[in-house]
Amino acid sequence: MKVAVVGTGYVGLVVGACLAETGNDVACADVDEDKIDALKRNHIPIYEPGLEPLVVNNQRDGRLQFTTDVGHAIRDAEVVFIAVGTPPDEDGSADLQHVLAVAETIGLNMDRPKVVATKSTVPVGTAEKIRAKIAEHAGVEFHVCSNPEFLKEGGAVDDFMKPDRIVVGVDSEVAAEALRVLYEPFVRTGNPMVLMDIVSAELTKYAANAMLATRISFMNQMAQLCEMIGADVNLVRKGIGSDARIGQAFLFPGPGFGGSCFPKDVRAILRSGEEFGVSLEILKAVLAVNDRQKHRAFEKLVNNVDIEGRRVAVWGLAFKAKTDDMRESPSIDLIRAVLDGGGTVSAHDPEAIASARRIFGDQISYSEDAYEALEDAAALVIMTEWLEYRNPDFARMQAAMADPVVVDCRNLYQPDRMRKNGFKYASIGRETV
């Protein structure tokens, strides 16, 4: 099938590469000439495991093309995916200007019937706005549908190739059949393609992310309670996660959620609730808890060491492992608080150093080696759960640091082990050593 994907950001690039991998003829289109030129040279602008070989191999074999001629890509396609960004507006709602600009371009290039699928995360009612914008210019039949993505950063390729489910909101059998054909290779093992009305599909994306964000904030509050009463949040997590009705996923306490999805999407669904007269009180609490949680790392740090005039080492800058994404990462809040408190920062991250430089410039120092970041540090704060941090050389750590103080915001280590190794150790929802 001939497919156009308009937008080569995180979602568009993964969608285009994965659809090309299953034999489709895919054109990824974007108005950013520098980005397209880089992609043609196989320079991937994001770190996502497994994505680069898909781009390289499918571009080499002619199934994947990158172009700035958006109109041509649309005219040549049977199915067009809209995958441009929807950044938050000042009131928290999703900014649809890029989505509607693409819809207008589609209408202007609608030379034959096509299916238009929205991959961008958009609020309820966007499909009708897209339909209206296309209809202003199109002189032929077309079909609009909603096909929200459920890709997690660090595992997006696997999520697309082996999905838990594929959600498609349609109001025509033509659109339903086109998406069935396109996604048939991905649901052969039995995971469902869930067909529903368009409005329900639009809401499903926001509802899913809001639920996951709620679980994280809930466990972060339980962690605070554990600290006050002397319980171990890891044991509590295992205890409640063993209940099949609850499950283990997204029950890990930490420094607060960040990234491009959870904060933005929770704010957007709150804004949608306001527009329709529904006050989503639970989600207001989710954001409030998360905002407070982002300050907990700094509070634990200064409760255990004086940082003024001293170096603080930070392991992990990305909002989660297996990505270089620092959007709304809790590490940003920590680093700014340390700098405001008179300390200096030496940071390490396997993939996010370039992202950090764009935010902090030369305000902090950067280390290519995790142990190098510890030199003469008054404390280490662990913010991201990269695998290489899970079993370090504790003797080497202690020898490098000025004071053996560790604030572990991912609960990577056991308190007893840190005690035996001579560290002062604070984690989330457990005893402080």
Residue 35 is predicted with a pLDDT of 96
Task: Mark whether 43 and 117 lie in a shared domain.
Answer: yes
Give the pLDDT mean for 311-332.
97
Q: Is residue 97 part of a domain?
A: yes
Q: Which residue has the higher pLDDT, 119 or 89?
A: 119
Residue 260 is predicted with a pLDDT of 87
Judged against a pLDDT cut of 80, whether residue 111 lies above it is answered with yes
Which pLDDT band, with edges at 50, 70 and 90, does 69 fall under? very high
Encode pLDDT of 257-295 as tens digits: 999 899 999 999 999 999 999 999 999 999 999 999 999
Task: Mark whether 97 and 229 lie in a shared domain.
Answer: no
Which pLDDT band, with edges at 50, 70 and 90, does 89 fall under? confident
Task: Mark whether 89 and 209 lie in a shared domain.
Answer: no
The amino acid at residue 173 is E
Task: Mark whether 167 and 87 lie in a shared domain.
Answer: yes
Task: Mark whether 160 and 85 lie in a shared domain.
Answer: yes
Instruction: Sheet containing 405-408: give its strands across.
Output: 365-366, 344-348, 311-315, 377-382, 405-408, 424-426
Distance between start and end Cα atoms, the chain: 60
184-187 LR contacts (CB < 8 Å, sep 24+) = 185/22, 185/23, 186/22, 186/160, 186/161, 186/162, 187/163
Domain-ending residue, one of 162, 196, 230: 196
Domain span including residue 79: 2-196
Q: Which residue has the higher pLDDT, 256 or 188?
A: 256
Task: Mark whether 147 and 98 lie in a shared domain.
Answer: yes
Strands 79-82 and 2-6, by their bridges, are parallel
Q: Is residue 433 part of a domain?
A: no
How many other C-beta atoms can be found within 10 angstroms of the C-beta atom of residue 137? 14
Residue 168 is predicted with a pLDDT of 97
Encode pLDDT of 339-390 as tens digits: 999 999 999 999 999 999 999 999 999 999 999 999 999 999 999 999 999 9
Exposure string for 198-233, b = 16+ CB within 10 A, e = fewer: bbebbbbbbeebbebbbbbbbbbbbbbebbeeebbb
Encode pLDDT of 31-57 as tens digits: 999 999 999 999 999 999 999 999 999
Percent of the chain at pLDDT exceeding 90: 96
How many domains would you assign to the chain? 3
Task: Mark whether 34 and 182 lie in a shared domain.
Answer: yes
Those residues with Cβ within 8 angstroms of residue 63's Cβ, 6 or more apart along the chain or in another chain: 20, 21, 23, 24, 25, 26
Q: Is residue 374 part of a domain?
A: yes
Residue 92 is predicted with a pLDDT of 79
Judged against a pLDDT cut of 90, whether residue 189 lies above it is answered with no
Residue 17 is predicted with a pLDDT of 98
- CA atoms of 149 and 155, how far apart (whole Å): 13
Strands 405-408 and 377-382, by their bridges, are parallel
Q: Is residue 432 part of a domain?
A: no
Task: Mark whether 211 and 300 lie in a shared domain.
Answer: no
Q: Is residue 211 part of a domain?
A: yes
Judged against a pLDDT cut of 80, whether residue 422 lies above it is answered with yes
Judged against a pLDDT cut of 90, whether residue 93 lies above it is answered with no
Q: Is residue 19 part of a domain?
A: yes
Task: Mark whether 9 and 111 lie in a shared domain.
Answer: yes
Domain-ending residue, one of 272, 293, 314: 293
Task: Mark whether 32 and 84 lie in a shared domain.
Answer: yes
Indicate yes or no: pTM above 0.85.
Answer: yes
Judged against a pLDDT cut of 80, whether residue 316 lies above it is answered with yes
Judged against a pLDDT cut of 90, whether residue 167 lies above it is answered with yes
- For the question of residue 18 being annotated catalytic, the response is no
Exposure string for 300-324, b = 16+ CB within 10 A, e = fewer: bbbebbebeebbbbbbbbbbbbbbb
Domain-ending residue, one of 293, 308, 335: 293
Task: Mark whether 105 and 227 lie in a shared domain.
Answer: no
Q: Is residue 187 part of a domain?
A: yes
Which CATH number fits the domain that encloses residue 30? 3.40.50.720
Active-site position among 28, 145, 226, 261: 261
How many other C-beta atoms can be found within 10 angstroms of the C-beta atom of residue 6? 30
Torsion of CA 177, 181, 186, 189, to 10 degrees: 80
129-132 LR contacts (CB < 8 Å, sep 24+) = 129/96, 129/100, 129/103, 130/82, 130/99, 130/100, 130/103
Residue 391 is predicted with a pLDDT of 96
